[in-house]
């Protein structure tokens, strides 16, 4: 005990000579705590910026916390030493008071205790924050590890995605190439299909057109559908000016014929009398036949008005053959080579009628009056109202008719005797027509006259002299052919297709050559009609068109207009007196003159 006291006394004796270790430790502890706190603040701030730096700062913070713990432990030991010394001084104060004086006052001791108390509080606070920081550091480390792990996983996934994306791009490129190849192939197939469809459509259209044409032909042959235009009665009345006498161009036993204009076309309208059942039958017969058949040498039916018995034909500007042969209207005569051609045209039309399917047609009223002449004297057979349709396609078949019809001089003698009619009946009438073409004489007793002239060698005296210079040999052949066609017995008449047509075809070639030569001579000697001035009746030198639409020679029309206000052609008032030069006609006239 005394050793302790002596030691204590020695300590106490040295205390005034040296600075108090408690204050020194306190200062060190405070500085350590401040450094620790500042380190903790820095650590907490840096942890929020980066997780990698947080780990480093956490390690630094833990080392600093260990220093704080060390300083606190030193402070605590200093405090315990101070307390021990205080107690030692308190217990032995009576013993050492005379030698040693305590340099610290009670106030200073309280301040120290207060400071220590604050340090303890700060220490506990720092320890709590340190614990929180360690916990957060741990959580942050775990989260960082998880983030690293997730980053690695995401990196792997990203690599897989990139690989899949590259693979998808490769597949897309392959698919695009396949698509482009498929598109090209599809386009090629489309073009092929379109071409094939177009060809198929063209073939179908051709087939449809052929079927329609076949159907039309069958309908035309069978007569199931009308092949003509239907005109109204008002149109007929208006076109003929209520059937004006000035427009009438023909009159027969079965009706009147009028020249008029329908739908800007010049036509001939035949109005059949409706005063008997036979006339109505004739109208229906002619309408049925002409609406079903077409031939260049058969009169063309343009339309009809069935309710009032009107037939509309094409207009034949040169009238009928009988009037031209007998010169009833003062028209020019027909040259012999044209007569040869007319004979061939009539024969071909008759052959067509006799060969129609499914039933042959017999005209029964063939005569020059029913043969019409159009432009360039082209002949066409008309007036088929008395025609008969046989029930058989055999040309030798006959038809029983107890009421003979037709013109007496052209009726088949066997038909008159027996009432039996056949295609040979038309051949008989055709023979008489050919004899009239040669002689221009009436048909009564004509066969006997021509036959006698041939036997006497005087055929040239019987020929029509107005037809020109007849070729004797060819004319004799056609005269003998006509007489054979006009034989009394049907069996003695030649066949139309086998004998008559071939001979007429050969004679027509001779006529065509003669016509060509005559045309050259005519063109050289005679000017065309449209070169002639209507006033001067001579070739125009300066053609001009007047207000009436006609072309005149300038000098002649100017002289006319000085004394007249009317047209020299129409006798109607002229709206003006201006003249328009006709340079086209002038050029043609100059070319003709040279």
Measured in residues, the chain has a length of: 594
CA–CA separation, 307 and 75 (whole Å): 147
Known binder of ligand: residue 64? no
Is 545 in a helix, a strand, or coil?
strand
CA–CA separation, 465 and 457 (whole Å): 17
What one-character-per-residue DSSP string does 247-303 give?
GEEEE-SSEEEEEEEETTEEEEEEEE--SSHHHHHHHHHHHHHHHH---TTBPPEEE
Q: Please list the residues that pair with 262 across neighbouring strands.
A: 265
End-to-end CA distance of the chain: 180
Q: How many CA atoms lie within 13 A of 579 on its CB side?
A: 18
CA distances from 507 to 172, 320, 429 (A): 86, 23, 20
CA–CA separation, 71 and 74 (whole Å): 5
Sign of CA dihedral 340, 341, 347, 350: negative
Among 365, 412, 464, 553, the active-site one is 365
DSSP, res 446:
H
Q: Residue 255 is inside which H or E element, if any?
A: strand 255-262
CA–CA separation, 305 and 267 (whole Å): 14
Tokens 């009746």 belong to 537
CA–CA separation, 248 and 133 (whole Å): 135
Sheet with strand 551-553: strands edge to edge: 551-553, 543-545, 580-581
Closest CA to 402 of 388, 415, 386: 415
Number of DSSP helices (H) and strands (E) in the chain, helices first: 17, 15
**Vertex 440 angle, CA 436 and 443, to 5°:** 45
How does strand 310-314 pair with strand 301-305? Answer: antiparallel
CA–CA separation, 381 and 66 (whole Å): 144
Six-digit token string for 525: 């000697």
Contacts of 154 (CB under 8 A, 6+ apart): none
The verdict on whether 139 is a catalytic residue reads: no
CA–CA separation, 325 and 343 (whole Å): 14
Closest CA to 23 of 82, 101, 88, 93: 82
How does strand 388-389 pair with strand 399-400? Answer: unpaired
Tokens 């125009």 belong to 540
Six-digit token string for 360: 């042959």
Contacts of 391 (CB under 8 A, 6+ apart): 359, 397, 399
Give the distance, in angstroms, between the CA of residue 495 and the centroid of all CA atoms in the same chain: 54
Using a 10 angstrom Cβ sphere, with 0-12 exposed, 13-18 middle and 19 or more buried, the burial of residue 33 is buried
DSSP, res 539:
B
Closest CA to 265 of 307, 313, 299: 313
How does strand 301-305 pair with strand 229-230? Answer: parallel
Please report, in range form, the residues annotated as the binding site for ATP: 270
* Residues classed as catalytic: 365
């Amino acid at each position: 005990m005394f050793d302790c006291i002596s030691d204590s006394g020695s300590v106490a004796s040295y205390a005034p000579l040296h600075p108090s270790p408690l204050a020194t430790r306190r200062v060190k502890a405070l500085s350590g705590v401040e450094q620790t706190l500042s380190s903790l603040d820095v650590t907490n701030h840096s942890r929020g910026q980066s997780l990698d730096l947080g780990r480093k700062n956490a390690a630094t913070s833990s080392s600093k916390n260990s220093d704080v713990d060390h300083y606190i432990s030193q402070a605590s030991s200093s405090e315990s030493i101070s307390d021990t010394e205080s107690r030692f001084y308190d217990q032995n104060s009576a013993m050492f008071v005379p030698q040693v004086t305590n340099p610290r006052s009670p106030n200073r001791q309280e301040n120290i205790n207060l400071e220590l108390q604050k340090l303890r509080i700060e220490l506990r606070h720092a320890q709590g924050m340190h614990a929180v920081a360690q916990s957060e550091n741990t959580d942050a480390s775990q989260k960082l590890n998880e983030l690293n792990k997730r980053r690695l996983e995401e990196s792997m996934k990203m690599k897989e995605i990139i690989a899949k994306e590259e693979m998808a791009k490769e597949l897309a490129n392959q698919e695009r190439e396949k698509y482009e190849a498929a598109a090209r192939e599809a386009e090629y197939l489309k073009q092929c299909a379109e071409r094939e469809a177009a060809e198929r459509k063209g073939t179908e259209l051709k087939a449809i057109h052929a079927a329609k044409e076949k159907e039309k032909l069958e309908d035309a042959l069978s007569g199931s559908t009308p092949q003509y235009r239907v005109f109204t009665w008002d149109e007929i009345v208006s076109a003929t000016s209520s059937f004006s006498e000035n427009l009438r161009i023909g009159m027969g036993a079965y009706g009147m014929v009028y020249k008029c204009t329908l739908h800007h076309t010049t036509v001939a309208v035949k109005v059949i009398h409706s005063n008997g059942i036979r006339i109505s039958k004739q109208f229906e017969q002619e309408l049925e036949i002409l609406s079903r058949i077409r031939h260049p040498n058969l009169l063309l039916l343009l339309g009809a008005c069935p309710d009032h018995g009107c037939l509309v034909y094409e207009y034949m500007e040169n009238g009928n053959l009988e009037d031209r042969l007998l010169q009833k209207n003062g028209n020019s005569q027909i040259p012999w080579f044209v007569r040869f051609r007319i004979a061939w045209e009539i024969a071909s039309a008759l052959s067509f009628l006799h060969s129609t399917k499914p039933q042959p047609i017999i005209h029964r009223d063939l005569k020059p009056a029913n043969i019409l002449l159009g432009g360039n004297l082209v002949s066409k057979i008309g007036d088929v109202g008395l025609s008969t349709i046989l029930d058989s396609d055999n040309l030798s078949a006959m038809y029983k008719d107890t009421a003979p019809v037709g013109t007496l001089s052209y009726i088949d003698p066997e038909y008159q005797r027996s009432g039996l009619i056949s295609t040979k009946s038309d051949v008989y009438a055709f023979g008489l027509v050919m004899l009239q073409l040669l002689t221009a004489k009436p048909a009564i007793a004509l066969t006997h006259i021509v036959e006698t002239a041939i036997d006497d060698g005087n055929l040239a005296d019987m020929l029509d002299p107005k037809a020109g210079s007849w070729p004797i040999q060819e004319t004799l052949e056609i005269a003998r052919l006509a007489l054979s066609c006009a034989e009394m017995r049907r069996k003695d008449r030649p066949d139309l297709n086998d004998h008559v047509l071939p001979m007429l075809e050969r004679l027509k070639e001779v006529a065509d050559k003669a016509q060509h030569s005559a045309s050259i001579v005519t063109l050289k000697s005679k000017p065309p009609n449209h070169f002639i001035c209507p006033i001067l009746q001579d070739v125009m030198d300066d053609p001009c068109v007047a207000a009436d639409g006609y072309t005149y020679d300038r000098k002649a029309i100017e002289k006319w207009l000085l004394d007249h206000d009317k047209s020299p052609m129409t006798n109607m008032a002229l709206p003006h007196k201006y003249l328009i030069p006709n340079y086209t006609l002038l050029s043609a006239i100059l070319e003709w003159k040279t």
